[in-house]
Amino acid sequence: MSLQTRSMERTSAGEKQQTWHQYRIFIEEMNSLIGSALVEEFRNDNENDFNPNIIVGNGESLPRGATKLINAADPKELGQVVLDCDIVIFHQNYCRAEYAYKLLKHGQYQQTKTFILISNPMTWSTTPLKDRKNDETAMRQSMGGETEEQPFLKKYDKFTENDLPLRKIHFLERLKHLEQQIMVCDKPQMHAYIITPGLVYGNGEDILYDLFKTAWMTPDAELPIYGDGNNIIPMIHVNDLANIVNKTVQLTPNERYIFAVDYENMTQKKLITTIAKSVGNGFTKNVTTATEKMLTINVWMRSTQVFESDDQYIDAKKNPIIIWQCKEGFAKNILKIREQFKLYRGLDTVKLIVHGGTASGKSNLCKQLANFYRIPHIQIKPLIQELIEQQSDLGELVRTTLQQVKEQLVSEALAIFEAEKKKKKVPKGQPEPVFDPSGIQPRLPDSVLIQIYRWRLDQNDAQNLGYVLDGFPKTLEQYEKLFLNEEGQLLESIKPKGVIYLEYPDEQLKEKAKQIIDNPRYVEDQVVKRLANFRKNNEQLLQQYEQFDIKRISDQENAFEQSKDFITRNGPILVLQDVKDEEVVQTEEQQDDVTPSPQVNSSQQDKVSAAQQSQVQQSQVGPKKKGDQLNKSINESRLSKDNKKLTDEQKQDLIRQQERELLDQRSQPLRQYLADNVVPFLTEGLINICEKHPENPLQFLADFLEQKGNELQALGQ
């Protein structure tokens, strides 16, 4: 909901006219995860294009909905903007936040202003959990819809905003000092608030970004759990945090200190396991060293009741003021969060069906595409074998069905064998024929096949990266059962984005089938029969495939290149992992077609390398974590492999370059400190020297800097 005030007036024609009040809002770091969510929350240009809110702030680029970028490192410019704005929100640089707060505290202005400091949950990290004194709190939490899944939580109570005096801070002293000033602010024209969020998640991710990236990109990754993982982590979706900030500005509550956390009792172990199961392969491991301090926090906070009804434990759900996106928390909304990560990071999926007749080369092309784009190659035989070995309900269904089908086929074949045996008398001296059921191969019915394919398409790697379906579906009925729901609508989560049709004439397919030896399925009569079935169902399937775009390929030699061009028809596709060093090799046929694999020449390899260097297309409203994008790790991986091919001199040059980059990275904090606190004033002094040409420029500069320091000290900076 956008921040706005409305008044209703009647026009001469009797119609109602809306009058909008325009707010001037400063938001720090507008390109960050929190900053971009705040911009989206407070912008109202999509509703009011006459006098929308004016949103200014600092950042790398001007986000959609914002009006102007400023240089927050310039105290003069920052001060002018802060004093000019109605709403000022800081969430990252607490030094600048303190400077802005003191300007508003001691400045002279007529209109009421609101100052919001989004604090850090680490300020509570050294405070011991609050012991439970009685069972009343447990009853209230239960009535509030909260569940206690971990038994050890029964020992403790949640912190509320009233427990602020219990907080113990052993670091972040500057932030603590700023919070203390805000808590005692008594200026009538100024509303000042501290909002302490939990671990912020959602959209493109920030703190959880590395965990998402690892689970997304690495098939065999084990996500780390620090210690036993039972520490309690308060959390909140970034859009819910932005909504709470908006409500605080609108309603101006009496409480100055507000918690912004959801209603979930989240532990580190539950958090990491949820990401592993819903984004990655489900594997985790225990580690002794934490890579992210926020994941070690052990604080149990109650979701704020500031905006709820008086009877906060019973009526909190009836008329909520906060419009929650993830009130129930991270675990219950993980699928939504996963889709947001894909959207805000500009990721795309490659979802293909490779369609064609017998021996058209489907499996070989699927293998090449799967290797290049690092997506699952989905074939029925490996799936069935995997499920036979799997202890699951679907695995049990596959084993039972195969056994039943085989028993039926064996019974029918035995009856035919016995009947034939009675008709023919065995000549004397020759052995009696023996029935051999070993050659009977049972086939699963479509009802079970559809369940197998649905199960595979719903797995995380297929949802995150995409898939290439090898020659399935074969009939219109299979297509409808696989991709349509009960209402006849396409299932958005698994539907393909394109179809590659290997369109070869029957005579060409028969010739290719003759090259396949030692496979009874490719004898001439079997090939003719299978091609007849293919042609029978082909037209109906192609009519359905038209809605996904069809690439018809009739040139076997260039099938792979044409397929890549088709996949990137709407722009480059992010390749999440590096292609293996070895070339694409010819693979044995595993399903119902085999074709000789064309050799991959050097020009094709160059195209492969060029395609893999495509960058992540960042969403316009998506956050950017310290300039990092998913393809950064891809380029690093590719660079490490290219090093093997470099000469000694080239390697030394590369090492020197990497050292320079490392030194540059390590010096960044110092350079930023100088840029924020020294360079602006030194530059101003040098400009004065150039204008006035003093006889002793060094003494003049020293006096100027001393005077500037006294002025800043008087302002409290």
The residues with which 112 forms a beta bridge, in sequence order, are none
pLDDT of 120: 93
Q: Specify the range with the lowest mean pLDDT, choosing from 162-171, 256-265, 294-303, 659-668.
A: 659-668
pLDDT of 90: 96
Asked whether residue 256 carries a pLDDT value surpassing 80, the answer given is: yes
pLDDT of 642: 45
Residue 319: pLDDT band with limits 50, 70, 90:
low
Instruction: Please state, in angstroms and rounded to a whole number, the distance separating the CA atoms of residues 551 and 140.
Output: 61
pLDDT in tens, 416-450: 888 888 888 777 778 888 888 888 889 999 999 99
pLDDT of 578: 38
How many Cβ atoms from other residues are within 10 Å of residue 472's Cβ?
20
Chain position carrying tokens 């700023």: 178
pLDDT of 91: 94
Asked whether residue 44 carries a pLDDT value surpassing 50, the answer given is: yes
Asked whether residue 88 carries a pLDDT value surpassing 70, the answer given is: yes
Over pLDDT 70: what percentage of the chain? 79
Give 455 or 21, the one with higher predicted confidence.
455
Instruction: Please state, in angstroms and rounded to a whole number, the distance separating the CA atoms of residues 132 and 672.
Output: 46
pLDDT of 717: 61
Q: Which two tokens stand for residue 74?
A: 């310039």
pLDDT of 142: 46
Long-range contacts of 215-220 (CB under 8 A, 24+ apart): 215/275, 215/276, 215/279, 215/280, 215/281, 215/460, 216/279, 216/280, 216/341, 216/464, 216/576, 216/630, 217/576, 217/577, 217/630, 217/633, 218/280, 218/577, 219/281, 219/461, 220/281, 220/283
Asked whether residue 143 carries a pLDDT value surpassing 90, the answer given is: no
pLDDT in tens, 635-679: 444 444 444 445 666 666 777 777 676 676 666 667 777 777 788
Mean per-residue pLDDT, 502-517: 89
pLDDT of 320: 62
Give 647 or 341, the one with higher predicted confidence.
341
Instruction: Please state, in angstroms and rounded to a whole number, the distance separating the CA atoms of residues 162 and 301.
Output: 11
Mean per-residue pLDDT, 402-412: 92
Q: Is 26 helix (H, G, I), strand (E, B) or coil?
A: strand
Residue 170: pLDDT band with limits 50, 70, 90:
confident
Mean per-residue pLDDT, 401-411: 92
Give 387 or 141, the one with higher predicted confidence.
387
In whole numbers, what is the pLDDT of the chain averaged over residues? 81
pLDDT of 507: 92
Residue 231 sits at the vertex; the CA angle it makes with 279 and 320, to the nearest 5 degrees, is 75
Mean per-residue pLDDT, 142-156: 55
Asked whether residue 3 carries a pLDDT value surpassing 70, the answer given is: no
Residue 596: pLDDT band with limits 50, 70, 90:
very low
Give 508 or 17, the one with higher predicted confidence.
508
pLDDT of 646: 54
CB under 8 Å to 272, separation ≥6 — which residues? 211, 223, 224, 225, 229, 284, 295
Asked whether residue 470 carries a pLDDT value surpassing 60, the answer given is: yes
pLDDT of 312: 44
Residue 269 near residue 228 (C-beta atoms within 8 A):
yes
Residue 78: pLDDT band with limits 50, 70, 90:
very high
Q: Specify the range with the lowest mean pLDDT, choosing from 9-23, 520-534, 681-695.
A: 9-23
Instruction: Please state, in angstroms and rounded to a whole number, the distance separating the CA atoms of residues 490 and 492.
Output: 6
Instruction: Please state, in angstroms and rounded to a whole number, the distance separating the CA atoms of residues 296 and 109.
Output: 44
3-state helix/strand/coil string of 330-347: CHHHHHHHHHHHHHHCCC
pLDDT of 145: 44
pTM as predicted: 0.70
